[in-house]
Structure 1
Amino acid sequence: MKLVPGLYEAPITSELDEALKHLADSFGSTREAITADEAPHLLSRLLHDAALRALRNVRVAEGTDDDAKKADRFELQVSMVNEVLALLGKLAPKAGITDDESIQQPPELLLALRELADVRLGTIEIVRPTLPLRQSDLLVNGPRDLRIGHEVRLELASADRVDLLVSFVKWSGFRLLRPELKAFLARRPGGLRILTTTYMGATDAVAIEGLLELGANVKVSYDSRRTRLHAKAWLFHRESGFTTGLVGSSNLSAAALLDGCEWNVRLSSVDNASILAKFVTTFGQYWDDAEFEPYEKARFQDATRRRDGDRDALARAIQLRPYPHQQSVLDALEVERSHGHNHNLVVAATGTGKTVIAALDYARLRKGGADPTLLFVAHRQEILRQSLATYRAAVRDGHFGELLVGDNRPVIGRHVFASIQAMHEKRLATVARDAYDVVVVDEFHHAHGETYRELLSHFQPKILLGLTATPERTDGNSVLEWFDNRIAAELRLWDALDLGLVVPFQYFGIHDATDLSTIDFSGGRYDIASLEQLYTADHVRANAVIRALHDHVRDAKRIRALGFCVSVK
């Protein structure tokens, strides 16, 4: 055993005692007598480690094939364990260790016990957690790791009672687990207890009401200004004795359950019985605490309203500077230009700040007193106004730039933010081909449109920057021809999701039984008139859409939504 200066809690064996004697000239050791209460746990751990080493190092006779070796080795391991058990029974007769506890040959694990009728009919599917019930582990929601949401679903399937302790209960988290919670409470009515809070107004009333509707027991701390409850934990009681728990950072929300940067320890009663026993006791104390009271809708709403009123409503000044992912794109552009590539396409997911990147890139070009002329092209007035504000922040000039959209016309014309509709052939004919040093085109995937092609063919800028989230076109045409078939920098949606830059989304595919096989399909699209007649002939499909909406969103009356329709009348 290698000894270094530090803290220990090791029973002193003959080997360790001898090692300490050899170090006596250089180090002083601190010893303490093992108490009678500590002895069973400390000494059994020593026995466990020794038994594990012995079982792992069992050797069988040479000259047998591999399968026979494995069988012989397995049989010898079981015999060793049975001999140790028999010896313990003799040494401590009052412990009640008898031959009934010996392991049978060949050894087997009991995995489940079910009603005989269910076994014969096959009416109950055996669902087990991914981790063995006897194993503790750390769940981190990593790409190649176990996600807590998936594990909670599996744990619920075999639990007899469940206790949940969370600061926040969100509709998104309830919706994810609703099928499994519903099945559990149908099998074990009243078997779910939940403690939560109104702290920061984060808990959704509709989620609490959904849980109550399923038959859960819920208690709430109505103090929205402070909370003593920061713990997040699940306890899955099993009458079989194989109780498990999850303790960590995850509230009941979709982000926490699916892909948030969360750490949760899975505890097993086999190797962490004392911790789970403390969990049971502490949860019971919280449940009986006067701070946690039954859910009352009016009181809950009042508590969350008070919290909303406390929120700071003052606007805060924002200094425009790149986030790390934006700086990476700016660095990539600089490298490309250093190699003579002045026409560059940036592919970045919506929400990652393409316009900020373009604005900071332009601000960098102005260093040293330079003032390159600029044309920024987009297809909507709102985007142009927002882009102009972003550029003004980047160059720290509130008078920078002019709009060319709607009734707005530039006076100076050195830095123009123009709609693509305004850049028609007649206007292009009045503008010199080298009028702009820098041309930035937003939503560059539209570049095969006639007006875009005319604009790109007309101007000869020193620097061309294309921005898009989706360079791939359904018609098969490539926009890369304007950039020497290169993409300067990419930050795709999946990358942005992994980096936590955009909000993870959930996709629900709802089958509506609509048959499109009779609708004419040509030129890459269905016949609009036929689609309209099919979809609007009655209210059946519309009612199905409304039902699905109510099933999957927290409050259908308060959501902001986009509806993509065949026609609008």
Structure 2
Amino acid sequence: MNLTETQRRITRSLSNGFVDQRFEGTEFLMPRFIYNNAGDSMLMHLERELDHCSSFTFVIAFVTESALAALKVKLADLARHNIQGRILTADYLTFNAPKAFQELLKFENIEVRIADSKAFHAKGYIFDHADEQYQSVIIGSSNLTSGALMRNYEWNVKFTSHDNGVLTDKLISEVEKEWDAAQPLTNKWIDQYRIRYASKPKVSREELLDDSSPQYLIGDGDIKPNDMQRDALSSLDEVRKKGEHRALVISATGTGKTYLGALDVKNFQPKRFLYIVHREQILKKTVKSFQDVLWPKYLKKYGELYGKQTRTKFEAEFGIISGNDKNFSAKYLFATIQTLSRDEQLTRFSSNYFDYILIDEVHRAGASSYQKVVDHFSPNFLLGMTATPERMDDFNLYEMFDYNIAYEIRLQVALDADMLCPFRYIGITDYERDGEVIDDPSNLKWLVSEERVNYVVKQTEYYGYSGEVLRGLIFCSRTDEAYDLASALSARGYPSEAITGSTPQDQRDAIVQQLENDEISYIITVDVFNEGVDIPCVNQIVMLRNTQSSIVFVQQLGRGLRKFQGKDFVTVIDFIGNYKNNYLIPIALTGDKSRSKNNARDDLELKQVSGISTISFSEIAKERIYNSINNTALDSLKVLRDDYQDLKNRLGRIPLLTDFQQHGTVDSMVFANRFNNYYQFLLKMKEDIHLSFNEEAILSFISLELMNGKRTVELFLLQQLIKNYGQLDEQKFEILIQHENIFFDDTVKHSVSRVLSLDFFTTANQKKYGDNSAVISEAGYYRLNSDILAALDSNPWFKRLIEDAISVGLLRAKDCHYMTNQRFTLYQRYTRKDVCRLLGWENDVSSTVYGYRIRQQACPIFVTYSKSDEIEDSIKYEDRFINADIFQWYTRHNVKIDSKEVQSILDPTTTIHLFIKKSDDEGSDFYYFGEVTVESYKQETFQAKDKVEPIVKMLLRLKQQARYDKYLLFEK
């Protein structure tokens, strides 16, 4: 029988999966076990298959809105490419919510039917590839739910079969039989199902899915603290036991700061308490929360016995100082800063009138009104609470609280801990007219044009919201835009109100109440609702403005992250134009403060962040952000100065690189690569520090060559030499190295001597680093250069900066997983120079390595996957992944199999290492994909201009199969 090429590839791929992995399979045809592990998830596989199919069919019993929301951007891209799909689902156990069925009707390119079988419990995904006549199938335990696609321990098998395959034929026949027997999903069917859904007992979501969320615990009438609050309360208690009178709590929006404050007040038992807030809008809700916590347990339990009079007496202990409310005598007072800071109000209270004062949104405390109040009072304890302590002014918030940070929980950690509502972030392009996005926000006519408003409405309807009723919040660019947009949306059936800086407080309260009461669909604002507003019911956030600040972005995102009954997730729709600062979006979503372009690009590739929250970009929007990252200096002096000042304020001293590393902010190598060393940056910050030329040279050497932590031996040796006054027995050092489980052999030992003597480096770098050996190895001892040793004794700042560079290098090695018992770490980035050093080569020959170099029985191969258009055709080879196990690679041209070069590569004693980067836009760093062996090789020819030259093609087998998320980065 004559097989087609597709059939042969399928045969080899199935043989690879089911017979012997030495068969050369094609990745997208190979069987794969999918179970939601690190770097691999069901969601990734579904998206990848959808990217490459000609049509698809999902046969799944359970469907949730949350899972559909995670796929909507991908499905929209498919619709744009006219890819059609089918979904066969069911009403089994009346699990699927009516709203989920309603969402399925939104897909214009997908036909949906309801299975006839009463016990329909199938879970399968079929992807057609019409051009090559095969189907890919995923069958297993995963329904179309968030947990099943991203988090739960599921078992699924992906396999591929030709149209003529018995298994596929049987599967397709069964699908078609069920499909023909099924009925179309219609609004009428959903209306009827809604009645059954409401009346019949249902298996709870918690029983079927692991999607439940811990709420506040109620026991014996008391509100019990959640895990975060327990830790914070303990820390606050410890602060007070140390005799401190002030403390700061940094807690992401929605994590229960108000209840935390009330619980701490309950523990403290103040005689008189004052709560200060920025906005009157949340004052009454705050009072209610404190009453819920402080209301004595026995009164809650026997409230009816004690009667209304007792309740009234308890409530009288709470008073408000704001607007027309002026209750100065209550035990627990709640005041707006605007009212309290007036002289006629403030002078009513003596300095020690309150023994406990709590300031909410305390990042505003640099304002004169706050300082006036804080200076007036001397409480036994002052607590400040904020989600965003970073300030854009010169006020040092940390100093105000004596640098006592009692507790800190940021957005990403809170999402991981399931304390907040997950989000579905959707980045799509703004409306284009004549193929162009108009980015000028000053053009009101464009911002509220009929075409743009229609486009916005269409997108918000498609991407939807969780729950039965839309309660949306729209952030726009201008005040007049907010009013005009509110009118335009109202005219389209979405009642909307605008809130701006000029909106009176009572009117704001009324509008928020309208949203909560489902009287309006949207509140439209500019920046009024960035903070200090609590509207838990918000289930859709629309961003119709440029992202100017990652802080503001997170504040606005946080408006929808509070949990609310019936809200499983919040939809965040970001309309992205051609803005230079689009790079801020992935940075803000992931909380990445490293200022590293490599990290920003990695952030852009993430699908799932922080628990089961997801990030989805349309194809064009993603390209715009990628270009923004490449074309923007993330490490500008202004940005680094702000980061530096913020950390200095937090610490109350000059921060070191170790501080940046430990606080998860600027990557230490950003300072090194930008300024050669941290000392030069400190000079730019006007710090009074001085190093000599030779002192700075050795600091630059450690910073640029060793501090990246990619090999820890040199760093560890320098650390031990400083600790042992400049001398260390070589045998003792090797025992220490072995104890630390650091990779060390004779090659490394020799290499370390070459590096620390500077003999490894080029002449230019030797001069740059002072031309003197940092460490000398002689007579069985390592000795620190005498000039360095003397400088360490005479210049405290030199010693501090050297020890800091060494320490941060060791921290980086640990944090970036470089500290292993092998030369390289999978999927970490290395430059050609790093590789020369880590392979133990005598000299730095990185400038002449190019694509590969064979030395000392090692051959590193460097591949730039997407070749630039500017590269000569003579070196544009088809280096690519065949599958996650096999990489196709070409030698340089004008090379034959029998050449010394190729024979050296084929020599079984030669260790081959594979390094890959996506494009030259990504700098000089390559991902390490591990050791490879030559599976096969073939002599071919290559045409360079008018000349035909020999070249050798090799298939390289990876020693360890490429992790799926990394493989997807390079799949063509």
Query: Structure 1-normalised TM-score?
Result: 0.62
Distance 2:360 2:159 in 1: 58
The Cα of 1:139 is off from its aligned counterpart by: 1.4
2:475 maps to what in 1? 563
Q: Secondary structure at the match of 2:320?
A: strand
Per-residue deviation, residues 106-158 of structure 1 (Å, max 9, x unmatched): xx7363xxxxxxxxxxxxxxxx65xx722213115xxx432322220112344
Which of 240, 243, 251 is the matching residue for 1:348? 251
1:484 maps to what in 2? 402
Amino acid at match of 1:216: E
Which of 372, 382, 385 is the matching residue for 1:467? 385
The Cα of 1:464 is off from its aligned counterpart by: 0.9
Contact 2:124 2:137 in 1 (8 A): no
Per-residue deviation, residues 58-101 of structure 1 (Å, max 9, x unmatched): xxxxxxxxxxxxxxxxxxxx8xxxxxxxxxxxxxxxxxxxxxxx
Which of 296, 301, 326 is the matching residue for 2:186? 296
Distance 1:274 1:265 in 2: 23
1:219 maps to what in 2? 114
1:165 maps to what in 2? 60
Q: Secondary structure at the match of 1:216?
A: strand
**Structure 2: 5+ residue stretches without partners:** 1-15, 203-216, 297-310, 432-436, 484-972
1:339 aligns with 2:234: no
1:456 aligns with 2:357: no
Amino acid at match of 1:261: R
Contact 2:63 2:143 in 1 (8 A): no
Amino acid at match of 2:463: H
Distance 1:411 1:176 in 2: 55
Contact 2:248 2:404 in 1 (8 A): yes
Distance 1:444 1:277 in 2: 66
Amino acid at match of 1:166: A
Change in Cα spacing, 1:567 to 1:417, as seen in structure 2 (3 Å) is same
Change in Cα spacing, 1:362 to 1:554, as seen in structure 2 (3 Å) is closer
Contact 2:322 2:336 in 1 (8 A): yes
Distance 1:440 1:265 in 2: 50
Q: CA RMSD in A?
A: 4.0
Change in Cα spacing, 1:540 to 1:163, as seen in structure 2 (3 Å) is closer
Distance 1:275 1:376 in 2: 69
Alignment of 1:313-324 (within 5 A): 319-324=222-227
Change in Cα spacing, 1:275 to 1:480, as seen in structure 2 (3 Å) is farther
Distance 1:544 1:163 in 2: 29
The Cα of 1:434 is off from its aligned counterpart by: 0.8
Q: Secondary structure at the match of 1:234?
A: strand
The Cα of 1:311 is off from its aligned counterpart by: 9.9
Q: Secondary structure at the match of 1:264?
A: coil
Per-residue deviation, residues 421-442 of structure 1 (Å, max 9, x unmatched): 2212311122111111110111
1:146 aligns with 2:36: no
Alignment of 1:537-548 (within 5 A): 541-548=452-459
Amino acid at match of 1:365: F
Amino acid at match of 1:175: K
Q: Secondary structure at the match of 2:357?
A: strand
Which of 396, 403, 408 is the matching residue for 2:325? 408
Contact 2:60 2:143 in 1 (8 A): no
Change in Cα spacing, 1:133 to 1:341, as seen in structure 2 (3 Å) is farther
Per-residue deviation, residues 218-269 of structure 1 (Å, max 9, x unmatched): 22579xxxx845654434467866743143344255x764xx5323323034
2:278 maps to what in 1? 379
Distance 2:71 2:101 in 1: 11
Contact 2:98 2:190 in 1 (8 A): no
Amino acid at match of 1:379: H
Which of 268, 292, 306 is the matching residue for 1:393? 292
Amino acid at match of 2:188: A
1:501 maps to what in 2? 419
Per-residue deviation, residues 378-406 of structure 1 (Å, max 9, x unmatched): 12334221221121121224524212222
Q: Secondary structure at the match of 1:475?
A: coil
The Cα of 1:515 is off from its aligned counterpart by: 4.2
Higher relative contact order (CA 8 A, sep 6+): 1
1:123 maps to what in 2? none
Distance 1:405 1:311 in 2: 49
Amino acid at match of 1:409: K
The Cα of 1:179 is off from its aligned counterpart by: 3.3
Distance 1:446 1:256 in 2: 43
Which of 431, 438, 446 is the matching residue for 1:514? 438
Q: Kindly name which structure, 1 or 2, has the bigger radius of gyration based on alpha carbons.
A: 1
Amino acid at match of 1:498: D
**Greater share of residues in strand:** 2
Contact 2:245 2:381 in 1 (8 A): yes
* Greater displacement, 493-502 / 228-237: 228-237
The Cα of 1:499 is off from its aligned counterpart by: 1.5
Contact 1:195 1:219 in 2 (8 A): yes
The Cα of 1:296 is off from its aligned counterpart by: 2.2
Which of 419, 428, 436 is the matching residue for 2:346? 428
Distance 2:448 2:190 in 1: 44
Alignment of 1:20-419 (within 5 A): 109=24, 111=26, 133-140=30-37, 144-159=38-53, 161-170=56-65, 172-179=69-76, 181-182=78-79, 186-187=82-83, 189=84, 192-197=86-91, 199=95, 201-211=97-107, 213-219=108-114, 228-229=119-120, 232-236=123-127, 243-252=136-145, 257=149, 261-269=151-159, 287=179, 292-305=182-195, 307-308=197-198, 319-366=222-269, 371-397=270-296, 398=311, 399=314, 400-410=317-327, 412-419=329-336
Contact 2:115 2:178 in 1 (8 A): no
Change in Cα spacing, 1:515 to 1:299, as seen in structure 2 (3 Å) is closer
The Cα of 1:283 is off from its aligned counterpart by: 5.6
Distance 1:353 1:274 in 2: 57
Amino acid at match of 2:258: T
The Cα of 1:287 is off from its aligned counterpart by: 4.7
Contact 1:403 1:409 in 2 (8 A): yes
Change in Cα spacing, 1:541 to 1:133, as seen in structure 2 (3 Å) is same
The Cα of 1:199 is off from its aligned counterpart by: 3.3
Distance 1:335 1:221 in 2: 63
Q: Secondary structure at the match of 2:192?
A: helix
Distance 1:200 1:554 in 2: 16
Contact 1:351 1:502 in 2 (8 A): yes
Distance 1:275 1:324 in 2: 50
- Matched positions, count: 413
Change in Cα spacing, 1:151 to 1:537, as seen in structure 2 (3 Å) is closer
Change in Cα spacing, 1:203 to 1:277, as seen in structure 2 (3 Å) is farther
Change in Cα spacing, 1:553 to 1:329, as seen in structure 2 (3 Å) is same
Contact 2:247 2:405 in 1 (8 A): yes
Change in Cα spacing, 1:276 to 1:465, as seen in structure 2 (3 Å) is farther
Contact 1:138 1:263 in 2 (8 A): yes
Distance 2:144 2:160 in 1: 26
Amino acid at match of 1:178: L
The Cα of 1:408 is off from its aligned counterpart by: 1.9
Distance 1:416 1:274 in 2: 76
Query: Structure 2-normalised TM-score?
Result: 0.38
1:70 maps to what in 2? none
- Give aligned-pair identity as a percent: 21
Q: Secondary structure at the match of 2:391?
A: coil
